[in-house]
Amino acid sequence: MGALNPKRIAVFGAGAWGTALAIAFSPRHQVTLWGRDAGHITSLTERRSNDRYLPDVPLPHSLAVTSDFEATARGADLHLVVTPLAGLRSTVAELRRVQPDTPLIWACKGLEAGTGMLPHEIVADELGDDSRCGVLTGPSFAAEVARGMPTAVTLAARELDFATAWVQALHQPRLRIYANGDVVGAEIGGAIKNVLAIAAGVSDGMGFGLNARAALITRGLAEIARLAAALGGRAETLMGLAGMGDLILTCTGDLSRNRRVGLALAHGKRLHEILAELGHVAEGVPTAREVVQLAKRHDVAMPLCEAVDALLHNDRLGPREVVEQLLSREPTRE
């Protein structure tokens, strides 16, 4: 069944997730996928697949692909930014210059390096306090979405009417989208789960077993909920797709880049070697330092995130030493 009111959707970011969303929305909407790397875009155009990030997934014939930013932005009904978080600010600034009044949704997760800002704070910094914005987040591996496998995610916006309207436009049987009015909770869940997935990878890589993984996920969710509450997020958001759902998927799924970072750390590899081999952005790596700093500013205890930060950024500590420090903490109430 076709969309009753097809939209012109401009997707910015031709990585795995941007390509997957462009593919998912193409059957019902007029979608253009933009990428910064002209050579990469030429490959997508000629081969009709994103061999770098989503091999063996064909691009729909209706999906337009380009490296022309202005042509992509102009005339669109929706700007969907799916760059790594490091590219969100510059992309939004450029959209403000080209076509500032277009509704905006971003699918970036993390905290901005140096500022500790959540994505919605970056957007507000560039666009002002605009109610026509929201975040798409939740448990979703790009490869599965691109192949049309059933997935459920959250669209959170400060104005619930905005989220509801775009859920109606974008929701489909195999990509179910749920409206939410808690941007802070949704973004905190999406950011910190990547840090905890590194911890889960370390635990599994060291052979600590399923009991340890379950404890890590559960106590990690408690850390996420504490920080979200301190920032004004709602507990029920963290019990849903943007919190528990995303955390479980990223900590247990072998497609998780952050989990793979943890597995490699447990096997003795150096971080720079791991990231070079990965070939994708692992948002948990830069986010770990910012999460710890944000937690300190709000006097929130986050020992698991602190342990990941120490492992990533302290060359004197290996996985075993970090785990021993965690296990030596004084017992307390749950």
From residue 272, how far is each of 275, 276, 278 by CA, in Å?
Answer: 5, 6, 10
Which residues does 57 contact at the CB level (< 8 Å), separation at least 6?
A: 19, 20, 23, 49, 50, 143, 146, 147
Residue 166 near residue 3 (C-beta atoms within 8 A): no
Is residue 129 helix, strand or coil? coil
Q: How far apart are CA 3 and CA 307, in angstroms?
A: 47
Q: Check residue 233 and report its DSSP letter.
A: -
Q: How far apart are CA 224 and CA 203, in angstroms?
A: 19
CA dihedral for 175, 23, 112, 214, sign (positive or negative): positive
Q: Check residue 330 and report its DSSP letter.
A: P
Q: Can you say how many angstroms the Cα of residue 291 is from the centroid of all Cα atoms in its chain?
A: 15
**Torsion angles phi and psi, residue 223, rounded to 5:** -65, -45
Q: How many CB atoms lie within 10 A of CB 144?
A: 17
Residue 261 near residue 202 (C-beta atoms within 8 A): no
Q: State the catalytic residue, choosing from 7, 109, 193, 296.
A: 193
The verdict on whether 193 is a catalytic residue reads yes
From residue 132, how far is each of 102, 193, 209 by CA, in Å?
Answer: 8, 26, 45
Nearest to residue 282, comparing CAs of 33, 136, 109, 155? 109
Active site residue ranges: 193
